[in-house]
Structure 1
Amino acid sequence: MALNLTQKLVQSHLVEGDLTPGGEIALRIDQALLQDVLGGLVMLELEAMGVERVAIPLAAQYIDHNLVQNDHLNADEHMFLRSACRKFGVWYSRPGNGISHPVHMQSFGKPGQTMVGSDSHTPAAGSLGMLAFGAGGVEVALAMAGEPLRLRMPKVWGVRLTGSLPDWVSAKDVILTLLGRHGVEGGFGTIIEYHGPGLAGLTAMDRHVIANMGAEMGATTSVFPADEAVRTFLDGVGRGGDFSALAADEGCTYDRSEEIDLSTLVPMIAKPSSPGNVVPVSEVAGTEIYQSYIGSSANPGFRDFAVAAAIVKGKQTHDRVSFDINPSTRVVLETLIRDGQLSDLIHAGARVHQAGCNGCIGMGQAPASGRNSLRTVPRNFPGRSGTREDSVFLCSPETAAASALTGVITDPRTLDMPYPRLVPPAMVPGNTTMLLGPLPEAEARTVRLEKSENITTLPELGKLGADIRVPVMLKTGDDISTDDIMPAGARVMPYWSNIPKTSDFTFEPIDDSYPKRAKQGGAERAGHAIVGGLNYGQGSSRENAALAPRYLGLEVVLAKSFARIHWQNLVNFGVLPLTFADPADYDGLEIGDSVEITGVAEALAAGRDITATLRGKDTIRLTHGLSPRQVEVLLAGGVINWLRARLGKDGPARTVA
């Protein structure tokens, strides 16, 4: 039987299950990626599970989000994470070394391997022929403890690329085109596998851009073959020996198919405030802007900065525009310095920031209120930039640089200059001292975790009760993101490992009275329900968007549909996610209504749908789609309790001091 590349990668790592879409599978994991805003929780979870050392070949912790040091909080977190890496056998990427995804690609990415990461953009590693999944931190902790990654086998969506990109059109326009066609829910339940002759014109870093933003379509992950472009990349970073060719079998089939003729594409842009709100740049050309921002995991390659440098070379950006340059990695930054592009950018008016995520996650570079910001980042959810009422557009580096010069959104094809044709240079060799390798096991046992007062406790979670009787505490609309549930930005993110503290910010952009009402005048963790619309929990994999509401007493979420990672995060922390069998039932629920589900544990264990009584009289039917293992996790009160029981630890997860 001819297999597509996704099926081959899954089959080579399959521990349980088969290739039938929809069935639960378990995959052996080769690598784990952690970033700092969830890394603290992962390390606390490892400690709570009783793990002494990671049980997979490679795990790496990156300090790339919490880089703004207005006080001691982020610096304290860095020291804690460094000590945890030394204790548990994890690579540690120092602050300023760069964004996790491109640094990992340069340093550790390997065709044919699997990876799980505590960041929703982990699928970017699919650019090298890896099978890489974003997940909540506890899923990453489980993988690091040696557990397989469990998920529903997705359908495989084959996207055939033909032709070659025209001048002024680049990889960002490819993924924006797909987002424009299908929206932020278009990839649900699928792995997007790219194939076809058009791949020949896309470098490994071009593919990184496309694979990175597959997450914005709700796709489980994205996969590219490992071909000459991947060989060239690995040779260029001094790891040619890690290359192995990987491709789909001749004559394979896909569950869903699509074709993109690259030669027909035009510059595209996502308007505020969704990555799926995509139109051609020409449609909004002339709109005044305040900021033009280049960098992030969505456009992290050398060429993304070099093409902007070539466009602005010898010119000055508009005096109203903040032209922000966020280098993705130290290697890229040093190469831009060596070859002169950084000087060209600075001379043109660029403001250069440290290598990291920075403004993409609201850590600095927040735009002016009521002004338009053009960004090459992957997301433009409301408020994510750090400005509450922001207006962020997503675009390519070409569009961002052209617009920085004119002060208005500009189709780069209208510039009076030839398109810069760049020959990728030899990259500056990486400063390997910025990556600290794991300690020998005997030495690691002597390491103590360096905890500050802000590295507090994991809340102890009780088991799911036999019955649920709770009020509706909050009702949301469609496409609620984890940014809406647990805000990002420099004001909140330093506390992300402190669940009691971050619970005070829960749902702040939607209803800032929610935490106080959930505590009911001081009675913390009184039970309640939340009602959600379509695609509830889209976006970032941040697990504190599930754990903080759980700490406040959330027992059940009733929604029209859930984003994959958040759905699993709810299960992992003992929150029951239920879907309306009839979406019209959503309209009949309001804040304050009572929800009663009797015999819920019995119904889950028997695999039955759920019947809920509303306001003591009306009944509705709800589905759950949970596997027997997920039911076990829920009944245990969450995955930490479940794993500790399997490992023979006593009782529920202990509170971590």
Structure 2
Amino acid sequence: MVTTLDKGCYLLNGTTIVPDDAEASAVLGSHGVNTSREEAKENTIAYGILKAHNTSGNMDKLCVKFDKLTSHDITYVGIIQTARASGLEKFPIPYVLTNCHNSLCAVGGTINEDDHMFGLTAAQKYGGIYVPPHQAVIHQFAREMLATSGGMILGSDSHTRYGALGTMAIGEGGPELVKQLLGQTYDVDMPGVVAIYLEGTPKKGVGPQDVALAIIGKVFGSGYVKNKVMEFVGPGVKNLSADFRIGVDVMTTETTCLSSIWQTDDTIREFYDIHGRVGDYKELKPGDVAYYDGLVKVDLDTLNPMIAMPFHPSNVYEIAEVNRNAADILADVEKRAKVSFGDKVEFSLQNKLRDGKFYVDQGIIAGCAGGGFENICAAADILKGHFIGNDRFTLSVYPASTPIFMEVVKNGTAATILETGAILKTAFCGPCFGAGDTPANNAFSIRHSTRNFPNREGSKVQNGQVASVALMDARSIAATAANQGVLTPATEFDGELNKYKYHFDSEIYKNRVFDSHGKADPSVELQLGPNIKDWPKMVALTDNLLLRVVSEIHDPVTTTDELIPSGETSSYRSNPLGLAEFTLSRKDPEYVGRAKAVYAQEIKRRDDVPFNEMDPELADAIKTVLKDYPEVTSHNTGIGSTIFAVKPGDGSAREQAASCQKVLGGWANIANEYATKRYRSNLINWGMLPFIIDGEELPFKNLDYIFIPGIATAVKEKTENIKAYVVTGGALKEFNLKLGSLTDDERQIILDGCLINFNRVK
């Protein structure tokens, strides 16, 4: 059972919860506590780590410098290209370039391996660390080789979470890593800190994904931990192994929290010792009296095997409940599909029910969430003596690193898995983002991975293809596989789950990973390829803006996968204009053409073509604007596109969700709210205005023009309510927009047109 407190609370000695209500003072006094709320806030683990990394001298307005950076092969090229354009000479802190996303080199010809060679030569030239394909997924390498208790790591992948090891890690878009490479800071208001209070012990068959999904199901919809730090404390922590904690921790991203941190103990000390880095461990725990802005209580004893049904990690049920009420729950999934897919495909899951049983088509245990040592060993124990059958059901298992792969080979669990008919594969993130093990049309895949958004498994709705993913723990996936595809919770397994000793073989990395040990070699030339392109030129914000709405999305949440698809498009992330052709292709296929048409008028403006010689619709809009704003000219008024979405940006940290709009001439997003800080930051760093509009009734519609006078002045002067006008019926209809909180640097980045321009000006 997972419950939340509707108020802040004090935590005494790591065990006693005191709600911050009218009786709090008396209860605290009875414990001899006279610490103020503000003093107690400084006693969280999160506060101590943030204070140690803050350079501003003001704990309300943080300017954080991280200890290490990490990226993978569909983010690091763009990051390094941005940093190069801004004057990069060497990596100032350890920067790891892993190759776990396009590691198959299966789509796009030579361009994936070109990216890898770019990464290797960049590590040599600027002084970094290069992890070749199939060696490790980004987050497992970071756990094994980078994490330190009390440290901070910034990664260009949203699941950058190493809190279980005592490292506060944050996943952000590439421009935030660029800032660190250039000696700048990560600027954020001091986040709230929410205690995740664990008590009890998980029952046999319940794994980390079950605990994670139970938490996500409770807090995602309410935004309880949005942009906050989740701090795992309580007596239940000691009852979880390091791998178990890691498996829960990596999924905290799906709550939309900013970061996570756990209290550490001898279990985590042993993890560091096994990996030959015991000196990087230190005990972390909250002070005797710590104050939290909220509390999520997790009773581990009561949790059962869970499943997140399509199409979101928060669509959570107990597996047993799905088996009892499958027809009703599948009907609900079909309704959700209608919201996302409309009439583009026929989507039905009713044929998964046969003779009262729910049959699934595919199982995957993979990546940073599922590919851990204990998950694989537990799956092997459950599968032992069974076979997965020779019908539709398939099972693939991807160890998260080669050292883990080596260990499961040595201890025999690899053989146990293989003899069941399952397949063991190398470290690869593909199944997690739609670039590997794409199932058949209308198939249902159960996965111990991180996300189950629409199309996340690799299908293409725009081509009439659709499949769906449910998230489950490796243990229940194995139980289902042992039952030849019949959905089965692992608590029905009546055998033994053994404890396996893990031995980390450091020679695997020593023999293959390039580590510059922080020494740059300027003589090395970067190896480029035909798909590796520089960022196109971007201009500063003009005095006024005329925006055309080119897409209007009213889904409750719009994911980054819908803004710019993952999967096969990932091969083009080193080519800003090439990738931009896929923008919103799964959600609004007309977007790219409309955005390009608007951008063509902006190019004419920059070439001094008068407004009255441009597109007739635009010329008419300008004619209307000139009635009230005669000073408007092509020299002071930019032309751009914008989209409206209710709540955009859930999911990935990928900066391309914003940069692709920018290179197509986008100048703004308009939203009721932004799903994550990282997506909003990406917009800002690419010089796009992150507008907020209140209310469900929009004053504009798709293809309307919006005129925003004096926008540059409004940004400079921190205007709260920004006057805008819909150009309609030959008149201007006024409404208000807001930008929300922006740092001075963020305002200047928007004014300069993007982070690259900002750094060039500096």
Task: Tell me which amino acid in the other structure corresponds to 2:218.
Answer: R
1:630 and 2:666 are equivalent in the alignment: no
Tell me if structure 1 keeps the 8 A contact 2:366–2:431: no
- 2:118 maps to 1:80: yes
**Match for 1:546 among 645, 658, 675?**
658
How far off is 1:358 after superposition? 2.0
1:531 aligns to 2:644 (yes or no): yes
Task: Please say if residues 430 and 567 of structure 2, whose CA atoms lie closer than 8 Å, have aligned partners that are also in contact.
Answer: no
Whole-angstrom distance in 2 between the partners of 1:589 and 1:400: 47
Q: Which of residues 207, 211, 216 in structure 2 aligns to 1:170?
A: 207
What's the CA shift for 1:337? Answer: 0.5
Partner in structure 2 of residue 559 of structure 1: 671
Q: Find the counterpart in structure 2 of residue 641 from structure 1.
A: 757
Aligned pairs for 1:567-578 within 5 A:
567-578=680-691
Query: Aligned letter for 2:433?
Result: I
In the alignment, is the contact (CA less than 8 A) between 1:87 and 1:445 conserved in 2?
yes
- Using the alignment, how far apart are the partners of 2:545 and 2:57 within structure 1? 32
> One-letter code of the match for 2:558?
I
Bigger Cα displacement from structure 2, 563-572 vs 292-301: 292-301
Q: Is residue 104 of structure 2 the alignment partner of residue 68 of structure 1?
A: yes
Residue of 474, 494, 512 corresponding to 1:434: 512
Instruction: Out of 91-100 and 599-608, give the one that drifted further.
Output: 599-608
Deviations 1:326-353 (A, max 9, x none): 1210011000111111111110011222
Tell me the CA shift for residue 98 of structure 1.
1.1
Among residues 369, 394, 411, which one is paired with 1:322 in the alignment? 394
The two structures have a TM-score, normalised by structure 1, of 0.94
How far did 1:463 drift?
A: 0.7
Tell me the residue number matched to 1:485: 563
Amino acid at match of 1:454: N
Letter in 2 for 1:222: S
Measure the CA separation in 2 of the matches of 1:17 and 1:644.
27
Counterpart in the other structure of 1:614: 726
Task: State the match for 1:39 in structure 2.
Answer: 76
- Superposed displacement of residue 441, structure 1: 4.1
Query: Contact conserved, 1:126 with 1:132, CA < 8 A, in 2?
Result: yes
CA distance in 1, matches of 2:533, 2:601: 17
**Closer, same or farther in 2 for the Cα pair 1:521/1:567, shift >3 Å?**
closer
Residue 119 (1) aligns with residue 157 (2): yes
1:229-263 per-position Cα deviation (integer Å, ceiling 9, x unaligned): 21010011111121121211111110111211111
> Is residue 600 from structure 1 mapped to residue 711 from structure 2 by the alignment?
yes
1:98 partner letter = A
Aligned counterpart in structure 1 of residue 278 of structure 2, from 240, 247, 253: 240
Distance in 2 (CA, whole Å) between partners of 1:574 and 1:451 is 27
Q: Secondary structure at the match of 2:369?
A: coil
1:590 aligns with 2:667: no
Aligned-partner residue type, residue 556 of structure 1: A
* Aligned-residue offset at 1:49: 1.1
Shift of 1:524: 7.8
Alpha-carbon distance in structure 2 between the residues aligned to 1:552 and 1:608:
27
Counterpart of 1:157? 194
Cα drift, residue 318 of structure 1? 3.2
**Which position in structure 2 is the counterpart of 1:654?**
none
Is 1:459 aligned with 2:543? no
Q: Secondary structure at the match of 1:84?
A: helix
Matches within 5 A, 1:196-595: 196-285=234-323, 286-319=357-390, 320-388=392-460, 389-406=466-483, 407-415=485-493, 417-431=494-508, 432-438=510-516, 441=519, 444-476=521-553, 477-490=555-568, 492-520=569-597, 523=600, 527-534=640-647, 536-562=648-674, 563-580=676-693, 582-586=694-698, 588-595=699-706
Whether the 8 Å CA contact 2:445–2:468 is kept in 1: the answer is yes
1:516 positional shift: 1.5
**SS of residue paired to 2:136:** coil
What amino acid is aligned across from residue 482 of structure 1 in structure 2? T
Asked if the contact 2:366–2:397 (Cα under 8 Å) also holds between the matched residues in 1, the reply is yes
Larger of the two Rg values belongs to structure: 2
Residue of structure 2 in register with 1:649 after alignment: none
Displacement after TM superposition at 1:424 (Å) = 3.1
| In 2: Cα distance, 1:147 partner to 1:512 partner | 38
Q: How far apart, in 2, do the equivalents of 1:336 and 1:430 lie?
A: 16
Structure 2: any 5+ residue segments left out of the alignment? 1-38, 324-356, 461-465, 603-638
SS in 1 for 2:388: coil
Corresponding residue SS for 2:480: helix
1:529 and 1:595 in contact (8 A); partners too: no
Structure 1 residue 183: Cα displacement: 2.2
Determine if contact 1:118/1:140 at 8 Å carries over to the other structure.
Answer: yes
Whole-Å separation in 1 of the counterparts to 2:584 and 2:136: 30
RMSD in angstroms over aligned alpha carbons?
Answer: 1.6
Displacement after TM superposition at 1:513 (Å): 1.8
- 1:330–1:430 Cα contact (<8 Å) kept: no
Contact 2:117/2:527 (<8 A) preserved: yes
Write out per-residue CA displacement over residues 471-505 of structure 1, whole angstroms, 9 at most, x where no aligned residue: 10001122111111111113x11111101100111
Q: Residue type of the partner of 2:530?
A: E
User: What do the CA deviations read for 1:516-552 (whole angstroms, capped 9, x no partner)?
Assistant: 1211198286611110102x11111111111111000
Whether the 8 Å contact between 1:183 and 1:277 is mirrored in structure 2 is: no
CA offset digits 1:563-593 (Å, max 9, x no partner): 210100000000000111x22243x432111
Q: Is the 8 A contact 1:326 1:358 kept in 2?
A: no
Q: Secondary structure at the match of 1:29?
A: coil
CA deviation string 1:119-173 (max 9, x = no partner): 0011x21111111111111111211222121123211011111111111111111
2:372/2:399 contact within 8 Å kept: no
Tell me, in whole angstroms, the C-alpha distance in 2 between the residues paired with 1:12 and 1:488: 36
Alpha-carbon contact 1:518-1:524 (below 8 Å) kept? no
Q: Residue type matched to 1:52 in 2? A: E
> Could you tell me whether the CA contact under 8 Å between 2:381 and 2:496 is conserved in 1?
no
Q: Which residue of 2 aligns with 1:8?
A: 48
The one-letter code sitting in structure 2 at the alignment partner of 1:408 is V
Superposed CA offset, 1:86-116 (max 9, x none): 1111111111111010111101211111111
The alpha-carbon distance between structure 1 residues 555 and 17, as it changes in their structure 2 partners (threshold 3 A), is farther
Q: Provide the secondary structure at the position in 2 that maps to 1:297.
A: helix
Do the aligned partners of 1:186 and 1:218 also contact (CA within 8 Å) in 2?
Answer: no
Whole-angstrom distance in 1 between the partners of 2:447 and 2:512: 28
Contact 2:197 2:298 in 1 (8 A): yes
Contact 1:295 1:305 (8 Å CA) reproduced: no
1:650 matched residue in structure 2: none
Structure-2 separation of matches of 1:429 and 1:439: 16
Q: Which residue does 2:614 correspond to in 1?
A: none
CA distance in 1: counterparts of 2:111 and 2:275, whole angstroms: 34
Q: Residue 85 of structure 2 corresponds to which residue in structure 1?
A: 48
- Aligned length in residues: 635
Tell me how far apart the structure 1 counterparts of residues 761 and 399 of structure 2 sit (CA, whole Å).
45
Which AA in structure 2 matches 1:566? Y
User: For residues 713 and 735 of structure 2, what CA distance do their matches in structure 1 show?
Assistant: 18
Counterpart for residue 653 of structure 1? none
CA distance in 2, matches of 1:263, 1:307: 19
Structure 1 window deviating more from structure 2 (419-428 vs 240-249): it is: 419-428
Closer/same/farther in 2, CA of residues 405 and 352 from structure 1, 3 Å limit: same
